[in-house]
Amino acid sequence: MMRLIAYALFGIGIIAAIVGGAKLPAKQVEYLQQIRPFDVKLAAVEAELKTVDQVKSLEETKASLTKSRDELGGQVEFLKEINEFDVKIADVDADLRSIDQLSAAEVKSLKETKASLTKSRAAVGGWPPEKKGERFSNAIPVFCVGVGIAIVGIVLWRNDIRDRRVAPQAEQAEGELPDTEARTTAADTAPGYIISVQQAIETLMSMMNKASHQELLDEVDKVLSEHVTPFVELRERLIEEMGLSRAAPIMLYMASGERLLNRAWSAEADGYRHESVDAIDEAAGSFQEALQEMEGRNED
Amino acid sequence: MSTENTGGDSVRLGDVAENMGAAYRELTVAAVVLGVIQGVVLNLAFVYAALKLGFSIGGSTVAAIMGYTLLRGVMGVGTMVENNINQTIASGINTAGTGVVFTVPALYLLRANGMEFSFHIGPLILGGIAGAILGTMVIVPLRKQMIEMDRLRFPSGIATSTIIRAGSSGKEKAILLAVGFAISALWKLVLGSGLLDSPSMVETSGFGITEEELHFNFHIIPSYFAPVVYLSLMNLAAGLLAGRGGLAFFAGGALSWWVIAPMSVGMGWTAAAPETAVDGFIYSNMLRPLGIGVLVGGALMGVVTSSPAIRSAFSSLARASKTSGSGRGREELSLTTLMVGTVAGMAIFLIASMMTPGITPTQAVLSTLVGTVWLALAALIVAQATGLTDISPMSGMSLISVTIMLVLLQGNVAGAMVVGVAVCVAIGQAADMMQDLKTGFMIGARPIKQQMVQMATTWIGVLVALGAIYLLWHAGDGGTGGFGEGTALPAPQGGALAGVIESINSGQVPIDKYATGAVVGGLLGAAPQAGLGVLIGLAMYLPFSITLGYGIGCFLQMGIQKTFGRSFCENRLVPFAAGLIVGEALMGIGGAAYSIFSRGG
């Protein structure tokens, strides 16, 4: 229940804060309204000028095609190819005709208009405002209230996590719950997972001398997917229960072992069995360190 | 580079040759040389494409495929981790070019437009190199946090690892990868050709496709609900790989366009908008600037809330841990190396700033310090966003960099741009390094080797890209004006940044939106849900058509997992989705090349 309230407060607070922050200051709105006519005119001028680029690009294509065609000139056997170029050039010409081509004077005039509009647009005053307070909208109180609500939500959320972490331990310590009835926590189950990884690695080691290439690859895959991945999936609960600083070293040792198993797989696939053996041996060391760390933390 | 195959005996073990006693090939001369060559070629091609078309493309998948072909197919020696080194180098050099080509052309264009200032190429080169070094240095300590703790998906990293493993993962996975690739490439080809475009239908019925987007307003749904979906299968595949973890991103988009936008219209806050472009008004004046603020605030708070894990990663570096104690050496660059690299990067940064005309020594020190801090934060934001969604908010981060620096350096454009180049290169490196480290994690590479080669070679990309831009500009009539509006190379990103610089100089920065957005981002980042601030900020910052397509992918994955189980998703959906990503990426490159040549290159 507490978690739900925390989620709701956090969500409402964040939405309110974003909405409050999103509104534009009045002075900026005024400024944007003033420059809008300039932007509309500029867009129109730029659209017209774009045709100049289109024409330029088409003319370049035509020149390139003509050049390639001319290089074939005089050779009867290439008449067919020449004809193909002619067809392509005719297509480009058709495209060129379909565009309202601007004269040099018109282009010059458009560029001048664009420069003048840009200058006038830049001359529009009012933004940024001289008073710093006017840089923020009048929805800032909404933003502040939203921030406050979200902070309350986070505090409740974190408290709920802490209570869940402490509750089973406290109940056990006070003898309210016998060991057998205590809620199963990730910290309780994690050592079992690590031990299962170690057992799977022992099996893997025992088959190294007689296993075929494919059998070994399959077995490493199996250790990763059936024994390591379940521990990886436990990590969020583990962090929640133990806290990040206590859970981090355990997870880092486990990840290191996982990477070494990946190395064993790659080395085996590449045909370096001895490297594969070394990597598995090294991985076993990492998992052992994870287990020691885990047991040490649980004893704390 | 001591792991060249020394030629141990080879015996057959099943259907695979066993290289008995030979060291496992990882960091080899062949991988480095091939990576550098591929990186330089991709860098030149994509710099040109970015000037022509306005976008760039990551080169990891291309490099992985070429690496496989050349190392294993031609030389007959390549291993997966060796190919990972090749692909790390190639994409690092290529990505450095992206950071340069999105920023430096703005300087040339601004001066051509009549703005009076002087700049030299030297400080830009040094700024770019500093960015390349610092981008790698600041992100390396976060590998454990992002990849091993938060388990961020990095969809392109997964796609690259799927390609690298394709030959050995079994026939079924290879077929699924190929099917995904073929569908996506074909779909991209059809979409890009404009065959499905129906602008008149969109106008008359409110339904149809234009410019790779499906419009479905039916003249009933108002434009401010953003009834448009981007028909990219790559985008959908990123959602398929993210699944439930990507839902917050979709929720951020839905909140923006189905709650905030209609509320704003309902309350009459969009009165200044042209009637036909209310959605564009809401996006550019409200949601996008707010989103940038949310991204920054969310990432900052993310650093605070993740500090125990980051501390743990740092202490592990400080102990120079060998992770498993088997005596096989360091797994990550040591803290000392990182500190020396950071100091060296900052020193180069300082020299670049001091060489810039009009910058005082105090301003140079200030811009180095502030620039480095901002660069680290921006790198974190971009790496996290890429890890969560495969989308990089690079332009938003460059915008903030230039804004901060123009204020700090009192309008000195050249000085601000030195920092801008450094930040852009750095954030590109950070995201790229993390993608490659994810690939490395999936195939079991040693992170230290990837980190070393990235640090050692990425600066080459800065030199290549700056050289290309310099040459192209001076290839214009009279030795100037080789790119920009009205030329064969319109340089759209450079033009946009030039426009932003002009508006910053006239004081038109939406400070209110950045500030309120940062507070909201801070709150989201403080929630006990990793990455919430960055995901929602990114969703506000991007057009909803992208977020919607991604969200559909997330829902599809959840449905498939519920119906067929987790194993089906891991073994079948992942290679298929990886194929979708690679297919569109390669067809995108082909499309860009075609576009360049068909316009007379």
A143 interfaces chain B, CB cutoff of 8 Å: yes
pLDDT > 80? residue B534: yes
Amino acid in the structure at residue B568: F
B548 phi/psi in degrees, rounded to 5: -65, -45
Question: Rounded to a whole number, what is the distance in Å from the CA of B128 to chain A's nearest CA?
Answer: 33
Share of chain A above pLDDT 90, in %: 32
Q: Are A252 and B287 inside 8 Å of each other by CB?
A: no
pLDDT at B13: 45
The lowest-confidence range among A175-184, B109-118, B192-201 is A175-184
pLDDT > 90? residue A127: no
pLDDT > 50? residue B568: yes
Distance (Å, rounded) from C-alpha B60 to C-alpha B352?
A: 30
Q: Are B79 and A248 inside 8 Å of each other by CB?
A: no
Instruction: Compare CB distances from A245 to B17, B308, B328 and report the shortest one's residue.
Output: B308
Share of chain B above pLDDT 90, in %: 45
Find the mean pLDDT for residues A156-169.
77
In a mutational test of the A interface, the residue from B4, B9, B16 whose CB has the highest number of chain A CBs within 10 Å is B16
Q: Which residues of chain B from 252 to 311 reach within 8 Å of chain A, CB to CB?
A: 255-256, 259-260, 263-264, 267, 269, 271-272, 274, 285-287, 290, 293, 306, 308-309, 311
pLDDT at B51: 86
List Cα–Cα distances, A77 to A80, A85, A160, B141, in angstroms: 7, 14, 86, 67
pLDDT at A41: 83
pLDDT > 60? residue A300: no
Q: Which residue has the higher pLDDT, B585 or A137?
A: A137
Q: Which residues of chain A from 207 to 246 reach within 8 Å of chain B, CB to CB?
A: 212-214, 217, 225, 229, 232, 235, 240, 243-245
pLDDT at B598: 65
pLDDT at A184: 65
Distance (Å, rounded) from C-alpha B8 to C-alpha B145?
A: 38
The lowest-confidence range among A172-176, A245-249, B1-5, B542-546 is B1-5
Q: What is the 3-state secondary structure (H, E, C) of B97-145?
A: HHHHHCCHHHHHHHHHCCCCCCCCHHHHHHHHHHHHHHHHHHHHHHHHH
Task: pLDDT band for B326, please (50, 70, 90 cuts).
Answer: very low
pLDDT at A161: 82
The two tokens of residue B147 are: 């990849």
Distance (Å, rounded) from C-alpha A94 to C-alpha B539?
A: 45
pLDDT at A172: 55
Q: Which residues of B181-218 are buried (b: 16+ CB within 10 A; e: fewer)?
A: bebbbebbbebbeeeebbeeebeeeeebbbebbbbebe
pLDDT in tens, B505-523: 777 788 899 999 999 999 9
Q: What is the dihedral of CA B491, B494, B500, B501, to 10 degrees?
A: -130
Contacts of A188 (CB under 8 A, 6+ apart): A182
Task: Please list every residue in chain B whose beta carbon sits closer than 8 Å to the beta carbon of residue A243.
Answer: 308
B115 interfaces chain A, CB cutoff of 8 Å: no
How wide is the angle at C-alpha B404 spanned by C-alphas B464 and B451, nearest 5°?
45
Q: Which residues of chain A from 33 to 62 reach within 8 Å of chain B, CB to CB?
A: 33, 36, 40, 53, 57, 60-61
pLDDT in tens, B139-176: 998 898 889 888 888 988 998 898 888 877 667 877 88
Instruction: Compare CB distances from B272 to A33, A136, A260 and report the shortest one's residue.
Output: A33
B19, closest residue in chain A (CA to CA): A272
* CATH superfamily entry for domain A184-299: IL-4 antagonist (De novo design) like domain (1.20.120.660)
Task: pLDDT band for A26, please (50, 70, 90 cuts).
Answer: confident
pLDDT at B11: 42
pLDDT at B313: 67
Return the number of other C-beta atoms located less than 10 Å from residue B590's C-beta: 14
The lowest-confidence range among A168-172, B319-323, B410-414 is B319-323
| Residue B197: strand pairing partners | B209
- Which residues belong to CATH 1.20.120.660 in chain A? 184-299
Distance (Å, rounded) from C-alpha B293 to C-alpha A286?
A: 41
Mean pLDDT of chain B, nearest integer: 86
Q: Are A256 and B331 inside 8 Å of each other by CB?
A: yes
B158 interfaces chain A, CB cutoff of 8 Å: no
Distance (Å, rounded) from C-alpha B55 to C-alpha B97?
A: 12
- Contact status, residue B39 vs residue B94, Cβ threshold 8 Å: yes
- Contact status, residue B294 vs residue B540, Cβ threshold 8 Å: yes
Q: Which residue has the higher pLDDT, A130 or B326?
A: A130
**Is A166 strand, coil or helix?**
helix
Instruction: Compare CB distances from A244 to B81, B144, B309 and report the shortest one's residue.
Output: B309
> Tokens 């099917």, residue?
B179
The lowest-confidence range among A19-28, A50-59, B10-19, B533-542 is B10-19
Query: Which helix (H) or strand (E) is B216 found in, with range?
Result: strand B213-216
The two tokens of residue B368 are: 């180095």
pLDDT > 50? residue B121: yes
Task: Please list every residue in chain B whose beta carbon sits closer than 8 Å to the beta carbon of residue A21.
Answer: 290, 293, 512-513, 516-517, 519-520
In a mutational test of the A interface, the residue from B4, B511, B520 whose CB has the highest number of chain A CBs within 10 Å is B520
Q: Which residue has the higher pLDDT, A203 or B49?
A: A203
Question: Rounded to a whole number, what is the distance in Å from the CA of A146 to chain B's nearest CA?
Answer: 9
pLDDT in tens, B442-468: 999 999 999 999 999 999 999 999 999
A204 interfaces chain B, CB cutoff of 8 Å: no
Mean pLDDT of chain A, nearest integer: 82
Task: pLDDT band for A181, please (50, 70, 90 cuts).
Answer: very low
Task: pLDDT band for B381, please (50, 70, 90 cuts).
Answer: confident
pLDDT at B64: 85
Nearest to B401 by CA among B341, B362, B349: B349
Nearest to B404 by CA among B418, B392, B386, B416: B416
Distance (Å, rounded) from C-alpha B385 to C-alpha B393?
A: 7
pLDDT at B522: 94
pLDDT at B7: 38
pLDDT at B96: 92
Query: Which helix (H) or strand (E) is B18 found in, with range?
Result: strand B16-19
Q: Are A64 and B24 inside 8 Å of each other by CB?
A: no
Task: pLDDT band for A130, please (50, 70, 90 cuts).
Answer: confident
pLDDT at A90: 80
pLDDT > 80? residue A131: no
The lowest-confidence range among B161-175, B208-222, B302-316 is B302-316
Find the mean pLDDT for residues A258-270.
94
B11 interfaces chain A, CB cutoff of 8 Å: no
pLDDT at A77: 58
The two tokens of residue B299 are: 């990432």
B252, closest residue in chain A (CA to CA): A15
Task: Please list every residue in chain A whose beta carbon sits closer than 8 Å to the beta carbon of residue B260.
Answer: 15, 18-19, 22
pLDDT at B382: 87
pLDDT at A155: 94
Task: Please list every residue in chain A whose beta carbon sits closer than 8 Å to the beta carbon of residue B513.
Answer: 21-22
Task: pLDDT band for B290, please (50, 70, 90 cuts).
Answer: very high
A8 interfaces chain B, CB cutoff of 8 Å: no
Instruction: Compare CB distances from B272 to A29, A256, A272 and report the shortest one's residue.
Output: A29
Q: Are A283 and B328 inside 8 Å of each other by CB?
A: no
In a mutational test of the B interface, the residue from A58, A205, A244, A260 whose CB has the highest number of chain B CBs within 10 Å is A244
In a mutational test of the A interface, the residue from B288, B519, B523 whose CB has the highest number of chain A CBs within 10 Å is B523
pLDDT in tens, B219-267: 999 999 999 999 999 889 989 988 888 899 999 999 999 999 999 999 9
Q: Are B149 and A212 inside 8 Å of each other by CB?
A: no
A277 interfaces chain B, CB cutoff of 8 Å: no
Distance (Å, rounded) from C-alpha B271 to C-alpha B124?
A: 43
B15 interfaces chain A, CB cutoff of 8 Å: yes
Q: Which residues of chain B from 431 to 460 reach within 8 Å of chain A, CB to CB?
A: 441-445
Contacts of B18 (CB under 8 A, 6+ apart): A271, A272, A273, B10, B11, B12
Distance (Å, rounded) from C-alpha A269 to C-alpha A246?
A: 36
B211-225, B316-330, B392-406, B586-600: range with highest mean pLDDT: B211-225
Question: Rounded to a whole number, what is the distance in Å from the CA of B281 to chain A's nearest CA?
Answer: 10
Amino acid in the structure at residue B81: V
The lowest-confidence range among A60-64, A160-164, B131-135, B326-330 is B326-330
B289, closest residue in chain A (CA to CA): A22
ipTM more than 0.90? no
Instruction: Compare CB distances from A18 to B19, B290, B511 and report the shortest one's residue.
Output: B290
Q: Which residues of chain B from 325 to 364 reach within 8 Å of chain A, CB to CB?
A: 325-326, 328, 331
Task: pLDDT band for B596, please (50, 70, 90 cuts).
Answer: low
Distance (Å, rounded) from C-alpha B357 to C-alpha B118?
A: 7
- Contact status, residue B254 vs residue B555, Cβ threshold 8 Å: no
- Contact status, residue B249 vs residue B551, Cβ threshold 8 Å: yes
Contacts of B500 (CB under 8 A, 6+ apart): B399, B402
B594 interfaces chain A, CB cutoff of 8 Å: no
Distance (Å, rounded) from C-alpha A21 to C-alpha B94?
A: 39
The two tokens of residue B285 are: 């004046």
A9-18, B274-283, B562-571: range with highest mean pLDDT: A9-18
pLDDT at A171: 57
A283, closest residue in chain B (CA to CA): B324
| Domain range summary for chain B, segments of one domain joined by + | 22-148+155-165+297-514+549-576+590-598
B488, closest residue in chain A (CA to CA): A57
pLDDT at B571: 79
Distance (Å, rounded) from C-alpha B324 to C-alpha A281?
A: 9
pLDDT at B129: 95
Q: Which residue has the higher pLDDT, B190 or A95?
A: B190
pLDDT > 70? residue B410: yes
Task: pLDDT band for A166, please (50, 70, 90 cuts).
Answer: low
pLDDT > 90? residue A280: yes
Contacts of A243 (CB under 8 A, 6+ apart): A165, B308
pLDDT in tens, A185-242: 777 788 888 999 999 999 988 888 888 888 899 999 999 989 998 898 888 888 888 8
Distance (Å, rounded) from C-alpha B57 to C-alpha B142?
A: 24
